[in-house]
Amino acid sequence: MRTKYYKTVMYVLVGLVAVLFYASNAPATGSASISLVKSCIDPSGPGEPILFSATLTNTGEDNIINIACEDVPPATMEGVPTSLLSGQSVTISGSYIPTSNPSTDTITCRGTGEFTTTPVSASASATCRYSEDGGCTLTPGYWKTHSQDGPAPYDTTWAAIGEDTIFYLSGQSYYVVLWMTPERGNAYYILAHQFIAAKLNIAKGASVPSNVQTAITASTNLFNTYTPAYIGALKGGDEIRARFVWLAGILDAYNNGIIGPGHCR
């Protein structure tokens, strides 16, 4: 009888130890979540791989299991974990050959809470660009200060246009237009500044993407049609004014190196 009693006590104690062990190793009841931060390294030129890294962190209270990651566009990845303890971080690395410039790729990682069984996911993107053959671009701020009037050293590219050449229907020279402040948001000068800089960048040898060339042609047509006074009198929502601003955005991206051969370093 006593032996049976001791066995019963032993089973109870073993069960209690198991419960305590599970409780000490299981995470506290709470949410399951992950975060992802990504960065990339600019490649040296076309055809060269873009290298990237991403930090995957378990930001919840539950452990994360069944982790899988994918990259768009497809890329070779290393270091993808299958699980993460609460608070744990790992670094994922990879590379891919870009098909556009700049190139943006996005990593998405998914998993499941070990105890909550909650599905979790996180995404992160990074954009890199490579230097293309065909020169580089400079902003209107560079060109307005590097004319024959200074104050910075003269850039001889200006001679291809001529600072004193009249700018279309403005009645003002290229140089004067470039220094004009777009009062009340006059879209004529907003576009003209980017247009002049783009023309000078091209004259200096920068390559021209097809969308930029289309924007330059469309801008030329507008400048051959409208005066600064006419565009300045248009209200903010006017369709013609909106077109001036839209074209200025394309040429601004070109001059700043967001599209095209890249900004001069």
Read off the pLDDT of residues 194-237 as tens digits, 9 standing for 90 and up. Answer: 999 999 999 988 889 889 999 999 999 999 999 999 999 998 88
- How far is residue 155's CA from residue 208's CA, in Å, rounded to a whole number? 20
Span 156-173, average pLDDT: 95
Q: Comparing 199 with 135, which gets the higher pLDDT?
A: 199
- How far is residue 188's CA from residue 193's CA, in Å, rounded to a whole number? 9
* pTM recorded for the entire structure: 0.53
Ordered strands of the 34-41 beta sheet: 34-41, 50-58, 89-96, 76-78
Can you read off the two tokens belonging to residue 147? 């004319």
**At 8, is the pLDDT very low, low, confident or very high (cuts 50, 70, 90)?**
low
